[in-house]
Chain A
Amino acid sequence: MKAERAGTKRDGRWLGLYVLAYLVFLYLPVLLIPLFSFNDSIQAAFPLQGFTLQWYQTLYSNPALSGALVNSLVIATVAASGATLCGITVSYMDLYGRSPLAATISGIARLPILIPGVIVGISLLILINLIGLGPSRVAIVLGHILVALPTTVVVMRSRFAAIPRTVREAALDLGASDWTTFRRVMLPLSLPAVLSAFMLAFLISFDEFIVVFFLAGTDPTLPLYIWSQLRFPRSLPTVMALGTVILATSFIIAGTAEILRHRGLGAARRNPA
């Protein structure tokens, strides 16, 4: 028993080194982008040239970029709201609705994970053209609701499932209607998860490219703008400066979502009744 324990500890150390190497593999390429965004050269290559902020300055007064940024922010906000609303209702009805319809909806809502982005994109492209909408911001919002839906459903489902069933039953037994129970009891209890689902959906929409490629009309989103700039070697340093800003913002939002999710789950465990 003792020898076995020692063995696992040694294994743990080797595995720990492996995990460290894996994290380097994960982060090294990504961190090259901020590194070269301060480099005074068009080429992204070693050795580094001087330190400069000029690429950030070119970001600052760029109407095409700020247009794309505003577009992305608006679309991500609307799409994340829609996806979160659907995530809340779909998972709530799936867990408490007791109807085959609710279970079916929940099943289909998680389906987009099993559809490659290119197919989600073209199927929506056909649909929006058929109903006469055409490529537009509304189309992008619909596409992003679809892409973010599995995530919001999964986040909300696990949160609702973590709330003891007795809480809801008590509310119903005390005479609260379904509406009141949902609005005054279940929703406040799952608020951290709602915020977390919203933020994750926001990030997914904000970064999404494969689907949006088919649905965008005349106003590009930020990823589409980046894609259009990647063709020109001269604009690559500016793309890296932009990328750095996006990386930093995404890291902050993802971190906040993670903290909220933990706080929510912790509260559910500490405070079962």
Chain B
Amino acid sequence: MSTLVAAQAPEARSSSGFRLAMLLPGGLVTFLLILFALGLVLFLAFRGNDGSLLGVGLTVDNFVTVATDPLYWTVTLRSLVIAGLVTLATVVTAYPVAYYLAFHAGRRRGLLLFLVTLPFWTSYLLRVFAWKIVLAYNGVLNSALIESGIWSEPTLAFLNTPAAVVVTLAHAYAPFAILPIYVALDTIPKSLLEAASDLGARPFTAFRRVVLPNSMPGVLAAALVVFVPTVGDYVTPAMVGGPASTMIGTLIQSQFGKANDWPFGAALSVCVMLVILAVVLVARSADRRFGSRT
């Protein structure tokens, strides 16, 4: 994209005043707020906690604790498993929706796209709360099961489980997954599918060999936008998860609240960012593999 721009744009006559005014707001926000703030987290992660704002000394103790204390391993692993399951569930259930939108929706496409993304614009807190209403001991699911005679007694088995966290998050992030997959599917030329069927490919073969590989960039993008907010979430585990589904976001949050150990919380954050960086890099290299195929 940017090379195209460079090749076509006329000789720039931009006054420096114009450039400065146009670059200033975005520059301030991105460099100061994003890069500097993230740099501060990185710096703080290597400090000791003495109750002061920026800590004291220079140490790797925080990371040693994260690496050696089994509590943090358990919670980190659990966060990865839960976020992974949420990502898998969301992407797998979203794919057919995106497929329908791209190939079958016809004139209803615009309306369906809107309906699918609409829940995203409503309060996340309320959507999590809605699941609490559904899953609670005297909640909707239990009362519906008893009213209809399927169950005789309400069960505690729904709420406060890791499964509740997975379902709630898969619901909350559904629109995030549908959109990128739809965009990827929509850019596949229809002639490619016709060519596949003309060459004798059955619909399923055409899907497996043509559609699926070509939509992989969208699938990877979807997986990323679901995984990233999920792995650091602390609201859903607190509301529907119970103690058995404490995630790393909860630990980070409590370090900056109750525990009041900011350097350690910063170190945990750095670890989360490293995990996400690793995931992004894996997704990137996978993306490149699929990209070179087309």
Enumerate chain A interface residues (CB-CB to B < 8 A): 1, 4, 7-8, 11-12, 15-16, 18-19, 22-23, 25-27, 29-30, 32-33, 36, 43-47, 82, 85-86, 89-90, 92-99, 101-103, 105-106, 108-109, 111-119, 122-127, 129-130, 142, 145-146, 149, 165, 169, 172-173, 177-179, 182, 200, 203, 207, 209-210, 213-214, 223, 226-227, 230, 239, 243, 246-247, 250-251, 253-255, 258, 262
Do B34 and A119 touch (CB < 8 A)? no
Q: Give which listed residue, A32, A126, A178, A209, contacts B44 with CB less than 8 A.
A: A126
Inter-chain CA distance A4–B207, complex, in Å, is 13
Is the pair B26, A93 in contact by a Cβ cutoff of 8 Å? Answer: yes
Known: A46-B140, A116-B233, A207-B123. A102 touches B23 (CB 8 A): yes
In the complex with contacts A96-B5, A226-B126, A114-B34 CB distance below 8 A: no
Is B68 positioned at the interface, with any CB of A under 8 Å from its CB?
Answer: no
Chain A contacts for B231, CB-based, 8 A: 116
A105 touches B27 (CB 8 A): yes
Inter-chain contact B100/A127, CB cutoff 8 Å = no
* B127 close to A29 (CB less than 8 A): yes
Per DSSP, chain A at the interface is: helix
**How many residue pairs bridge A and B at CB < 8 Å?**
270
Q: A46-B143, A108-B30 are in contact. Are A23 and B203 (CB under 8 A)?
A: no
Q: With A32-B130, A246-B123 as given contacts, are A165 and B8 in contact (CB-CB < 8 Å)?
A: yes
In the complex, chain A residues whose CB is within 8 Å of the CB of B143: 45-47
- Which of chain B's residues has its CB closest to A44's CB? B133
Question: A183–B22 Cα gap in the complex (Å)?
Answer: 12
Interface contact B262-A126, CB-CB below 8 Å: yes
Contact in complex: B100, A16 (CB < 8 Å): yes
Q: CA of A89 to CA of B24 in the docked complex: distance in angstroms? A: 9
Q: Is the CB of A246 within 8 A of B5?
A: no
Is B15 among interface residues, defined by CB-CB distance under 8 A? yes
Known contacts A19-B97, A23-B115, A127-B33: A247-B126 contact under CB 8 Å: yes
Given A116-B231, A200-B121, A207-B122, 19 more A-B residue pairs with CB atoms under 8 Å apart are A12-B104, A86-B26, A89-B25, A93-B23, A97-B19, A105-B23, A115-B276, A117-B229, A119-B269, A122-B41, A122-B265, A123-B37, A149-B29, A169-B9, A177-B18, A213-B253, A226-B123, A230-B239, A254-B118
CA separation between A93 and B12, bound complex, in Å? 12
- Contact between A251 and B235 (Cβ–Cβ < 8 Å)? no
Q: How far does the Cβ of A191 sit from chain B's closest Cβ, in whole Å?
A: 18
> Judging by beta carbons under 8 Å apart, are A32 and B36 in contact?
no
Minimum distance in angstroms from B275 CB to a CB of chain A: 10
Chain B residues near A214 (CB-CB < 8 A): 256
Q: Which of B96, B122, B252, B266 contacts A15 (CB 8 A)?
A: B96
Closest to A31 in B: B130
Known: A30-B130, A108-B31. A254 touches B37 (CB 8 A): no
Contacts of A18 in B (CB 8 A): 96-97, 100
Q: Do residues A26 and B23 form an inter-chain contact, with CB atoms below 8 A?
A: no
Supply 24 A–B pairs (Cβ within 8 Å), ascending by A: A11-B104, A27-B119, A30-B127, A32-B134, A33-B129, A44-B140, A45-B138, A89-B21, A93-B19, A95-B5, A97-B23, A105-B23, A105-B26, A112-B34, A115-B38, A123-B37, A124-B37, A130-B53, A146-B29, A178-B18, A227-B125, A230-B125, A247-B122, A251-B118
A1 cross-chain contacts in B, Cβ below 8 A: 197
For A169, list chain B residues within 8 Å (CB): 9-10
- Looking across the interface, which residue of chain A has its beta carbon closest to that of B33? A146
Q: Which residues of A contact B65 (CB under 8 A)?
A: none
Q: How far is the CB of A23 from the nearest CB of chain B, in Å?
A: 6
Q: What is the CB-to-nearest-CB distance from B182 to chain A, in angstroms, rounded to a whole number?
A: 12
Closest chain B residue, CB of each to CB of A230: B129
What are the residues of chain B within 8 A of A95 when measuring CB–CB?
Answer: 5
On chain A, the residues within 8 Å of B29 by CB distance are 82, 86, 109, 145-146, 149
Asked if B110 is at the interface of the complex by the 8 Å CB criterion, the answer is: yes
| Cα–Cα distance between A124 and B39 once the two chains are bound (Å) | 11
Residue of A nearest to B126 (CB): A243
> B116 is contacted by which of A8, A23, A106 (Cβ under 8 Å)?
A23
Q: Contact between B203 and A7 (Cβ–Cβ < 8 Å)?
A: yes
5 residue pairs, one from A and one from B, having the closest CB atoms: A116-B232, A90-B26, A123-B37, A254-B121, A12-B104
Once A118-B249, A124-B37 are accepted as A-B contacts, the answer to whether A178 and B273 lie under 8 Å apart by CB is no
- Which B residues are CB-close (under 8 A) to A89? 21-26
Nearest A residue (CB) for B8: A165
Q: Are B22 and A105 in contact (CB under 8 A)?
A: no
Residues of chain A with a CB closer than 8 A to B121's CB: 200, 203, 207, 250-251, 253-254
Of A43, A86, A116, A173, which contacts B276 at CB under 8 A? A116
Contacts of A142 in B (CB 8 A): 33
A106 to B114 alpha-carbon distance, docked (Å): 27
Is the pair A19, B256 in contact by a Cβ cutoff of 8 Å?
no
Q: Which residues of B contact A33 (CB under 8 A)?
A: 126, 129-130, 133
Whole-angstrom CA separation of A174 from B231 in the bound complex: 53
Q: Determine the chain B residues whose CB is within 8 A of the CB of A25 once the complex forms.
A: 171
Q: Does B258 make an interface contact (CB < 8 A)?
A: no
